[in-house]
Amino acid sequence: KQEVTQIPAALSVPEGENLVLNCSFTDSAIYNLQWFRQDPGKGLTSLLLIQSSQREQTSGRLNASLDKSSGRSTLYIAASQPGDSATYLCAVREEGGSEKLVFGKGTKLTVNP
Amino acid sequence: NAGVTQTPKFRILKIGQSMTLQCTQDMNHNYMYWYRQDPGMGLKLIYYSVGAGITDKGEVPNGYNVSRSTTEDFPLRLELAAPSQTSVYFCASAKAQAGYTFGSGTRLTVV
């Protein structure tokens, strides 16, 4: 059974810091890995999608890497801002019939002014 | 481009009542999913569909039913609502092997 773990569960940093969020998964039979952002009481916003054949994706101040063989992904946020405060969710899309997305429990990020 | 649309956004049900959560997508995606999100528990898959006329159970299907008569629509039916079904429900759709698009969610309270 696929399990996705995100470390740390919560993170508080001062504005301007560069930071790394970690995600690990137990089964490498995946099509892709997706990072989402969720603000309190809101839905899921897709940040980055990395296909299993790719090593990384970048969007603005965000960079996500994928090491499929070791079951790891990182989300790097450069020059953090208070507006980055949110919960970040990592999810892998399993190979096979359902192609379901399996989620980690998220990292709650607080960026202090 | 509307993406994935869920209705209603909020609902309060009494124990034993029934309701249908609506989900529709306009991206011609074959795959559609229902998840529930509970505090500290992450998102759990309730039901999924790989195409019109095909549905199957996820991790937590008890108390729910679905149908998929068209590519666009994937309603989730709650029969005999229980307090344990208080949650936030998300519908999502995707093409094969691609990224997911989520709806904005339905916040359901059963009292």
Residue bearing tokens 């899309």:
A93
Give every CB contact of residue A57 below 8 A, 6+ residues apart in sequence: A48, A49, A50, A63, A64
Confidence at residue B39, expressed as pLDDT on a 0 to 100 scale: 83
**Residue pairs between chains A and B whose CB atoms are closer than 8 Å:** 60
- Rounded to an integer, what distance in angstroms lies between the CA atom of residue B54 and that of residue A28? 27
Q: Do A46 and B96 touch (CB under 8 A)?
A: no
A40 touches chain B (CB under 8 A): no
For the record, the structure tokens of A60 come out as 């603005």
A42 touches chain B (CB under 8 A): yes
B39 touches chain A (CB under 8 A): no
- Rounded to an integer, what distance in angstroms lies between the CA atom of residue A75 and that of residue A57? 10
- Rounded to an integer, what distance in angstroms lies between the CA atom of residue B29 and that of residue B83? 33
Residue bearing tokens 């481009």:
B1
**Residue A97 binned pLDDT confidence (cut-offs 50, 70, 90):** confident
Per-residue tens of pLDDT for chain B, all 111 residues: 679 999 999 999 999 999 999 999 999 999 999 999 998 788 999 999 999 999 999 999 999 999 999 999 999 999 899 999 999 999 999 998 888 999 999 999 999
